[in-house]
Each structure stands twice: as structure tokens, then as C-alpha cells.
Amino acid sequence: MQKHTVFEGILERGMVGIVRAPSAQAALQIAEACIAGGITALEVAFTTPDTLGVLRTLRERHGDEVLLGAGTVLDTETARAAILAGAQFIISPGVNVETIALCQRYQVLAMPGAMTPTEIVTALQAGADIVKVFPAEMFGPAYIKALRAPLPQAPLMPTGGVTVENLHAWFASGAVAVGIGSSLSGPGATGDYAAVTARAQAFVAKMAAVRSQSSVLVIKP
């Protein structure tokens, strides 16, 4: 799948579900629960055991029906391994310009994490496709709106603190997508994968409502 197709796919979906678990099996079950609920863009965090195995398995099972990325990527070695395992986008908690350059070399979406305007501009100059604003819960949707004033060209994806209840506020403030963690996958920690599916369905329904009830459709940078 071409990089621009992955980019458009994330904008269309508007949500990236974060899969982070204490075991590879639990990660696969959480991922499958998210997919069953309609969230089909997933980030598998490298804090999960055998992340590469999880990526390969999900890619084999779902092909290009699911947009699949690797998260918590700190260096080029990890990024390249994830790409070879089937990752279509690379997400980092911070800005590592070498990792961004590697993603561009292989035409894989680069999504580094940043918080300040300086970090965001540094990421964009290095070739970031989408900037993950993290940890977004520290300042809330108002911070995204404040960033978009001087940086309207920046494609921002707040991650942290995104819930069904505040989903609209993030997009109304100018987010192009959101990363969803524990408010989606939380029940997976106790093995309640049906609840993960239910939460995914709630997010998908809310996203449809957000886009139908306001001018927030597919926000592009």
C-alpha cells in the first residue's frame, strides 16, 4: 500500500487504536477486539512482548483491510524491523530525526511525538507526515486549537486523554486524527475483550455523529 493511501486512510478513519499488553497473545486479542468493533487503524506498542510477531500475525490475518503501525519506536533499528514485519506507519513518543528519515526512505508514514511548537516544527522540517501531540491530556483540546493558530499547516494527532465523551472537542480544535489508548483497550487488562469491542463500537458511532452533526468531516492539514 502506498504511503499516501495510508495517510488518507488514517484521516478518513480519524482514530488510531493503541494496542499495549503484557503478552503477545493479549495484544492479539485486544487488536482483534478493536477490529471487531470497527477500529481498523491500530498501533502496536513496542512495550508489548514480541511486538514483531504481533505485527506479522495481524498483517497475515487482515492484509490491507487494517492499517497497521508500530508505536513506542525509539530508534531506526526498531523502525526498520517493524517495517519489515508489516508496519505501515511508525509512531514515536518523541522526535528522532534519523527515524523520520528512515521512514521517508522507505515511504512509510512517520508520526513522531511532540508537545511544544519548537518540537512540532522540528518534526515537520525532518519530514514528519503527522505529528502525535503527546501527552495531550496535560493540556486538553484547547492546546490543539492554540497550536493550530501559528501552525495551521501542522497535521496534529493528540494522544492521551481521548474519550468518547470528548472526541468532538479534539476535532473541533483542529486535530486530523486521535490516538486512543486505555479508554479503548482498558478492559483488555482483565481479559474482557467483549468490552473492548463495545468501546470500539462506541467510538466509531461517536465519530460518525461528530462528522454528521458538524463541519468536522475529514480534517486535512
- Close Cβ partners of 144 (under 8 Å, ≥ 6 residues apart): 133, 136, 156, 158, 170, 173, 174, 175
User: Which of 43, 65, 98, 220 is labelled catalytic?
Assistant: 43
Q: What is the DSSP string of 144-194?
A: HHHHHTT-TT--EEEBSS--TTTHHHHHHTT-S-EEE-HHHHGGGGGT-HH
Is residue 48 a contact partner of residue 54, using CB atoms and an 8 Å limit? yes
Catalytic residue, candidates 98, 132, 145, 220: 132
* Cell digits of residue 18: 493503541
Q: Establish whether 165 is a catalytic residue.
A: no
Distances in whole angstroms, Cα of residue 186 to Cα of each of 30, 131, 148, 166: 9, 24, 30, 17
Cα distance between residue 110 and residue 126, in whole Å: 10
Question: Phi then psi for 179, rounded to 5 degrees?
Answer: -100, 130
- Just list the catalytic residues: 43, 132
